[in-house]
Amino acid sequence: MSRSDAERNRRTLLEAAADALARSPGASMAQVAQAAGLARATLYRHFSSRQELLAAMRAEALVRAADAIAGSRLDEGTALEGLRRAVEALASLGVRFRALLLEGADLDATFLQQRAEVLAPLKAVVRRGQEAGLIRSDLPPEWVVTAMASMLVAGVRASAGRGFDDSRVADLVFGTLTSGITARP
């Protein structure tokens, strides 16, 4: 098998795993392989265990989150508009990677550190909002970003079985966040 075939199979498996686990968090490795249209042996050549597959999915989720934040045009408009776009972009990834949250990825110290690095650009947006008088200056930017991330996690978890789509989760998170962080005249 060529290197490009192997990489294509890996991407296919990660996509299929995200889809299968979004539909059924308890999906087996065999169900993931079937969803990818590949043999179980191919799946096991790339990921020797469910834990290894989930670790690869966590890495993929972080890359996609970083890309989503980078694409949120954080410097355009007000800080609150930039944060809104970031919340919407991150919420749109939520359903796809919900299974990771159900597996407890957000409880892993390494994952949390990596997530903090991915979310770091949002601290600058919060600072900009504080300087503009839009965001309370008594709140550390790290706290605002941590609160936002925690609400996104809670929103994605809560959306399962409640019929909330990504945009509803984004609305709930952003509304709750801004109710607590916006400066009062």
Domain-wise residue ranges, the chain: 1-48, 54-181
Write 143-146 long-range contacts (CB < 8 A, 24+). Answer: 144/177, 144/181, 145/119, 145/120
Between CA 156 and CA 138 the distance in angstroms is 28
Q: Measuring CA to CA, which residue among 104, 112, 93 is closest to residue 22?
A: 93
Question: Can you tell me the distance from the alpha carbon of 120 to that of 104, in angstroms, rounded to the nearest whole number?
Answer: 22
Q: 1-48: which CATH topology?
A: Arc Repressor Mutant, subunit A (1.10.10)
pLDDT score recorded for residue 157: 80
Tens of pLDDT, residue by residue over 47-70, are 999 889 988 988 988 999 999 999
Task: Let me know: does 88 contact 9? Beta carbons within 8 Å.
Answer: no
- CATH code for the part of the protein at 54-181: 1.10.357.10
- The predicted-structure confidence for 112-152, as pLDDT tens digits, reads as follows 899 999 999 999 999 999 999 999 999 999 999 999 998 99
Q: What is the pTM of this model?
A: 0.83
Check if the beta carbon of residue 14 is closer than 8 Å to that of residue 36. no
